[in-house]
Amino acid sequence: MDMDAPIKGRDIGNLTREYEYADGRKEHWVGGSKSWRNNNPGNIRDFNIPWDGLIGIDAEKFCIFNSYEQGKRAIRVDITTKAKRGLTLEQAIYAYAPPQDGNNTEKYIEHIVYETKISRDTPLSAVIGRIPDIVEVIQEHEGYTEGTIREVVQERIGKYIWRTQADKNVRLEHRMREGKVFDWESPPEGGHPGDAYGCRCWAEDINAEDASPVDKMFNSKYRQLTKD
């Protein structure tokens, strides 16, 4: 286990992912592509597979990994598994990026064929050594653009207002807490906003009348770690 890797990742809306580390540090990964925000260069969806490095699921059910390397490794493992099942390149990509998920699967296949010169009807088991090349094209096809990483400096003192993302994915017990006041020293059942696995709720500082809209949203101040 990488001790410098985050232990939790969650979607807090507004094109932002929050990563939490074992020592309590938090970072907000803002903007960029979804593949970058999730450390998921292959845009792999959650199918209850216990991937190495999986630390969260976003609002659209895409995996959040603890590092870019683990996300890229997941692509390689996925394609290798399909090769061991005897799938051709065409069959593997139709399984990886099916049309029902909004993908133009034919263009996906054409892109890989063009870049790798592997024909679509080639069994992947016959070109197992070329899987890293296929992985590179998958990342390119999915798109990978870096955004901004900001360190969150958050003081958990006093009281806060529970806020949700106000969408259909908010769990019932959290929806019932929207707008209610809680104390950091006395957490409600299940913990504070963001403590529960997959929770995208956030705490609004009850004393933040003079804070900027961004500070209110995250109940925090930022120290920027990357350039905009």
pLDDT at 140 over 70: yes
Mean pLDDT of 126-139: 98
H-only helix segments in the chain? 34-37, 68-84, 89-96, 105-116, 131-142, 172-175, 213-218
Domain extent listing, the chain? 71-142, 156-219
pLDDT digits (tens, 9 = 90+) for 167-218: 888 999 999 999 999 998 899 999 999 888 888 888 887 754 444 444 444 4
Confidence band (pLDDT; 50, 70, 90) for 2?
A: low
pLDDT tens track for 28-80: 999 999 999 999 999 999 999 999 999 999 999 999 999 999 999 999 999 99
**pLDDT greater than 80 at residue 220:** no
Question: Using one digit for the tens of pLDDT, what is the confidence trace for 76-107?
Answer: 999 999 999 999 999 999 999 999 999 999 99
Which of residues 219 and 156 earns the better pLDDT score? 156
C-alpha 67: how far from chain center = 10
- This prediction has a pTM of 0.72
Contact 88, 123 (CB under 8 A): yes
> What local confidence, expressed as pLDDT, does residue 216 receive?
41
CB 12 within 8 A of CB 59: no
